[in-house]
Amino acid sequence: MSKQAEQERIKHVYRHWHGSATPGRQDWHRPDTVSREAARTRVLAGLLARTVGRDLSAVRVLDVGCGSGAFLRQLIDWGATPSHLAGTELQQERLDHARLHTAPGVRWHLGRLDAFADNSVDLVSAHAVFSAILDEDMRRELATEMWRVLKPGGWAMLFDVRYGSPRNTSVRKLTEVELLRFWPAEQRHYRTLVLAPPLGRAMARLPWLLPELLGALVPLLRSHFIYMARKEP
């Protein structure tokens, strides 16, 4: 598959996921969605404080595949300066949504990372981006570009899935072997989180402590991860 064809496939998949009129499994108000986002926020907060630091006001961030801008808004809530933040996206309509709902000053960019200078950000992130890329060469190229824009001493951060799904051929897992190959680093962190979606949906209406305990006691049931790798100074 050509690079252009893969990009068009990704755009089509995301339009289907986010543009369907049918209530989806990702709706913000669903109990399992609320639980998943709470788990991600909790782990993110701990890792960011441990890596880039507790004071985010001077941290320069590029969020790749920023979607509606939710992660950048979270960073602003935690003290990041909007003019130090940037997001890239393949879909203009999602960038328009992000711009409308985010504090002024954030830089929004449609397309690839070639508009960003080498060694220009302290944190480069991608949330559920690589699992949507099926082409191995495109994965490697994007990982290289993320590493390029990152300053020495800065951190790359990935949130994605550990397991594939036979029911969803539009998603491909990101393995620990790939993470180490794409972002090799002596200083790195890997945290698993979130119950596998079918299990999370089944347990979402139970008392919150039960799914929390299950996820804590049985790590293999956690379907997602956050990986952070530090570029050597």
Domains and CATH numbers, the chain: 3-13+27-230 (3.40.50.150)
Least confident of 29-38, 40-49, 100-109, 116-125: 29-38
Helix/strand/coil for 192:
strand
pLDDT at residue 200, rounded to an integer: 81
Q: Which residues contact 104 (CB under 8 A, 6 or more apart)?
A: 82
Percent of the chain whose pLDDT exceeds 70: 89
The residue that leads in pLDDT, 171 or 126, is 126
Percent of the chain whose pLDDT exceeds 90: 67
Alpha-helix runs per DSSP H in 150-189 = 176-182
22 has a pLDDT exceeding 50: no
| Mean pLDDT value across residues 130-141 | 93
What pTM did the predictor assign? 0.86
Q: For the packed helices 136-149 and 3-19, what is the interaxial angle rounded to 10 degrees?
A: 90
Confidence of residue 5 (pLDDT cuts 50, 70, 90): low
Least confident of 3-12, 55-64, 103-112, 180-189: 3-12
Confidence of residue 21 (pLDDT cuts 50, 70, 90): very low
- Residue that is written with structure tokens 């907060």 in the block: 45
Average predicted confidence (pLDDT) for the chain: 88
Q: Which tokens hold the place of 45?
A: 């907060």
Question: Do 7 and 90 touch, CB atoms closer than 8 A?
Answer: yes
30 has a pLDDT exceeding 90: no
| Mean pLDDT value across residues 140-156 | 97
